[in-house]
Amino acid sequence: MKKPLTLFLVLLLTALSLKAYAQDPLKEGIALFEKNDYQGALPLLQQAFKEDRNSKRGNLYLGQVFLKLDSLDSAEFYFNRGIKLDDNMAGAYYGLGQINAIQKKYSQAIQYYNTAIEKDSKDENFVISLGDAYLAADSVNQAMQAYYKAHDMNDKDPRALAGIADTYKAQSIYDTAIQFYQEALKLDSMNIPVRLRLANAYLKNADGADAYKQFLKVSELAPNNPQGQYQAGEILYVNKRYKDAYPFLKRYHELKPKDNKALFELADCAFNANLFSDAVKYFQEYLTKVPNSLEAKKSLASAYYFEKDASQSYNLYKSIPIDSMSVRDLVRYGLAAKAVNDTAAVVSSWEKAISLDSTLAPIENQLAGVLFTMRRYDEAISYFRKYLQLEPNDIGAKLNLGLCYIASQHMSAAIDTLKMVTVEKPDNYFANKWLALAYSASDSMEQAVAVYNHLIKLALADTSGADHSSDLNDAYRYIAVYQIIQAAKIQKDRPDEAKKLYQDAFTSLQSALKYAPKDTKTLALLAQDYAYMGKIDQACAEIKKVLNAVSKDDPVHEQMIKLQKSIGCQ
């Protein structure tokens, strides 16, 4: 009978012991804490604290669990209580160091870490965190000493090796940093943060290929790890590797669609990678969440423009205060406005852009062209001149400036400008055409005739198939005018020479009519030439043709009536 009784007592004592353990909230709370179940650990540790407010371990673990839950004030309160209970509580000093490090108070963090190490010199965690704080405070040498000390304490801890690598990278000694990162990964190949730091070191060392391999490895190892995807994308994004960054940021957005900062970076990444349709999609999504973001609106407007949706781009830019736009935005706004023919918006946006950046030569040139079409010639001239100061060899701009001078009746300036072009490019068709026009408008007839003769040669030699009929008609008719005027001047003193000039004018007019048979100005001049040559019947016939072709309010009509009366046509 004694054996069963003894067994019963043993079982009873065991059950009571288990029950006592199960009812120990401190032990249960610590067990959950060590399993990283901080929410589960907190109420148990709080219960233990109520039962024993002076428990050193209770205060320490409450501080630690609040630290893990980012309740820094509460964590600080319990760490300080722990120190009051036991001045040698190294973990509490360490916890205060972590709080200060999180708050970027690195000098205070360093003091607490050093105190923790004084109290417990065997915990490598304290030493590694000390190195982290020194590195964050830009005390690279002290950081390196701390990491090497931690490595001596435990050469199997990859954090110490990664920390050493960090110090070398901070000094731009990338080859050595890469070696230490690689050593750390040999100990922990699944360490995503270290692999990302290795990738970043490769980038800094201008080794984009190996950097990208590491980013791909991160993606393989942790395809559903949002932070790994984001950090890979972020590092590439910061280094302007937009096409490479894009898939990582896109994957992160799939995993964390509510992260607006990352969504903006994804949209911006797509834009800079020339994935404009994706940029439009993501900026639109971002604006549904942050509707008042001017930066997103400006970027979306730009993306619309590059997607060749000028109307959407223009409408969005138009809704943005112009004073908030950068030079880049102002330029793009002007381009979109130009595409939808809002010349006023083109001028206002580009004038502001140029006022902010005096080196926008192409925009000055385009703005001058827009102002020219608006007949704001003096302003156009000013911008053409400014542009040519930066781009003095642009023949097209010089031609446009010359045409601007002609339109604004500044003929001497037009001649000077167009002559420069014909010196540089003697066979430039349009330069000769407009120079001849400028000469004729300024009554420089001999110079005009010389240029018109050259223009005729250029037109006749042109094999491009361009239609020069109108220009040839004008050129031959002007030459005829000159010949008739010259003949009239010498008719009294040198009638034979005058007769030849009238005949030459007739030949010129026949050439003109070859290219424009019904041109009334040429026919009217032919009638006058016939009259000067004494061929009255032919003159009257040409007068009749002109009168039948023009209205009574046409100036040519009045000229023909006067000529008709003067030569006595029936």
pLDDT tens digits, residue range 507-548?
A: 999 999 999 999 999 999 999 999 999 999 999 999 999 999
DSSP state letter for 342: -
Residue ranges of the chain that CATH labels 1.25.40.10: 358-464, 467-570
- Spell out the long-range contacts of 324-327 with Cβ–Cβ below 8 A and sequence spacing 24 or more: 324/294, 324/298, 325/298, 325/349, 325/352, 326/298, 327/353, 327/356, 327/357, 327/360
pLDDT at 8: 47
Distances in Å between the alpha carbon of 465 and those of 426, 454, 461, 512, 516? Answer: 21, 19, 10, 19, 17
pLDDT at 358: 86
- Taking residue 559's Cβ as centre, other Cβ atoms within 10 Å add up to 18
Distances in Å between the alpha carbon of 17 and those of 11, 13, 29? Answer: 10, 6, 18
CA–CA separation, 358 and 354 (whole Å): 5
Mean pLDDT of 275-297: 96
Q: Is the pLDDT of residue 161 over 50?
A: yes
* 240-251 exposure pattern, b = at least 16 Cβ within 10 A, e = fewer: ebbebbbbbbbb
CA diameter of the chain: 167
Quote the pTM value: 0.61
Cβ(442)–Cβ(411) below 8 Å: yes
Q: Is the pLDDT of residue 184 over 50?
A: yes
CATH number for the domain formed by residue range(s) 358-464: 1.25.40.10
Return the minimum-mean-pLDDT range out of 224-238, 249-263, 492-506.
224-238
pLDDT at 313: 96
pLDDT at 523: 95
Quickly name the fold that domain 467-570 has: 1.25.40
Q: Which of helix, strand or coil describes residue 54?
A: coil
Encoding tokens for residue 504? 């030459």
Q: Which residues contact 347 (CB under 8 A, 6 or more apart)?
A: 367, 370, 371, 374
* 478-508 exposure pattern, b = at least 16 Cβ within 10 A, e = fewer: bbbbbbbebbeeebeeeeeebeebbebbbeb
Q: Is the pLDDT of residue 320 over 70?
A: yes
Please state, for a pLDDT cut of 90, what percent of the chain lies above it. 89
Mean pLDDT of 335-352: 95
